[in-house]
Structure 1
């Protein structure tokens, strides 16, 4: 387990150290692989062709190929080149891969899955927040729900503070691992039009009412009610946003 953690940290550090050109090449190739421009089992273009296509050196292409390998997307095979691997080998929590998955034609199915994950984890965290609530945590949550109340007629501004409302609850729960999972996955989805849906004051009013139910349960330190309210809020909100996004 420790070896895996250290390996992950080393891979992250290597990506940060890679030249900008290499990162740009990686992003384009990740998108091409995930969206099946290069399906599983096929080979990426030869190194010289990639150099010409991107206008970069062989060193940059090799750096990019190493990054793709670290993400589980490709494997180098003697005599066959760089081969795209099956999806079950991909690191689906990798930010670049996630962003590309949400852009696929079947991206809505991954957003459905994200909603299921959020519903489960955030319901559990809401229960923990209620059980572990401190005066300081409740004061912060109260300030946030009041701030949201003042933004109901301004959907675009409300969305930003909506994320912060959930963040306060997740921090109150003390469940740092679940919070990290949600933060990592949702950060990429928030930039996806299909996840946001159409903003409307009516939707925001419904959302605020749901937030109030979560808030009231946490304030009452009712863990079961907090979990139920959070689960219903996330599931109902996604159902509405999903329908709105599909109509666009």
Structure 2
């Protein structure tokens, strides 16, 4: 029996089943175990199982209807903007392909966000970008962790854009960046170079140069895309 700790039981079951669905352990033909089977498998109450089922249904992974049981939904119905779904996808085996799609989306959003920040960013919002860049430079000089300020930089640019729709993507972008950075930072090989590239975006925003801000952000994302493509090709060749 896969006994689960008595802490946030529904969320833990949601995580277990969500990962399993995305990994392909359950699909539309097999479905999920019944409520009774899940209660026995995890050693939890029917109430906790039902709450987990509701969470997974809200994420588009399953549907549950009378006389139908719990059915796994096709991948096209999954809510890819849900940070848990994205995290589970990135943890699965084809994560490089998910990262590539994610970078393609970033190309459609972040360069424009940088341009808008250069046009309309408030002094306070732009100062947050500056703080993130300064933290990246300090970490690079000390060979420290630039991961956290890197995430802060991209969130700050979305905020400075003044576009509420862009800013609401911050958790989605941070979730995928957490994985993406683990691939691209070692490939880049120089934390100082990474910090310098982010600083160029910041300076363009600070100087009110939207086209340059857009170009520099595009360059960073396209470079990351090249690293991911190289890893994909290497995996294919191996």
**TM band (smaller chain):** 0.7 to 0.9
Asked if the contact 1:75/1:83 (under 8 Å) is kept, the reply is: yes
Say which of 208, 211, 220 aligns to 1:233.
220
**Gapped regions of structure 2 (runs ≥ 5):** 1-6
Structure 1 residue aligned with 2:4: none
Q: Please say which of residues 51-60 and 236-245 is displaced more in the overlay.
A: 236-245
Structure 1 residue aligned with 2:207: 220
- Name the TM-score, length of structure 1 as normaliser: 0.79
Say which of 43, 46, 71 aligns to 1:55.
43
Query: In the aligned structure 2, how far is the partner of 1:104 from the partner of 1:118?
Result: 21
Query: In the aligned structure 1, how far is the partner of 2:167 from the partner of 2:215?
Result: 18
Structure 2 residue aligned with 1:197: 183
- Decide whether aligned partners of structure 1 residues 141 and 184 sit closer, same or farther in structure 2, where only a CA change above 3 A counts: closer
- Decide whether aligned partners of structure 1 residues 180 and 48 sit closer, same or farther in structure 2, where only a CA change above 3 A counts: same
- Name the TM-score, length of structure 2 as normaliser: 0.82
Q: Does 1:161 align with 2:149?
A: yes
- Decide whether aligned partners of structure 1 residues 30 and 136 sit closer, same or farther in structure 2, where only a CA change above 3 A counts: closer
* Within-5 A mapping of 1:88-127: 88-127=76-115
User: What's the RMSD between the two structures over aligned residues?
Assistant: 2.6
Asked if the contact 2:116/2:161 (under 8 Å) is kept, the reply is: yes
Asked if the contact 2:184/2:227 (under 8 Å) is kept, the reply is: no
Deviations 1:56-102 (A, max 9, x none): 12222222222222222222355442111111122222222111111
Q: Does 1:188 align with 2:179?
A: no
- Decide whether aligned partners of structure 1 residues 144 and 61 sit closer, same or farther in structure 2, where only a CA change above 3 A counts: closer
Q: Does 1:69 align with 2:61?
A: no
**Gapped regions of structure 1 (runs ≥ 5):** 1-18
Query: In the aligned structure 2, how far is the partner of 1:143 from the partner of 1:50?
Result: 48
Say which of 2, 11, 24 aligns to 1:36.
24
Q: How many residues align?
A: 227
Q: Give the C-alpha shift of residue 145 in structure 1.
A: 2.9
Asked if the contact 2:99/2:228 (under 8 Å) is kept, the reply is: no
- Decide whether aligned partners of structure 1 residues 81 and 220 sit closer, same or farther in structure 2, where only a CA change above 3 A counts: same
Asked if the contact 2:121/2:162 (under 8 Å) is kept, the reply is: no
Query: In the aligned structure 2, how far is the partner of 1:62 from the partner of 1:152?
Result: 48
Query: In the aligned structure 2, how far is the partner of 1:138 from the partner of 1:115?
Result: 24
Query: In the aligned structure 2, how far is the partner of 1:77 from the partner of 1:135?
Result: 52
Asked if the contact 1:26/1:67 (under 8 Å) is kept, the reply is: yes
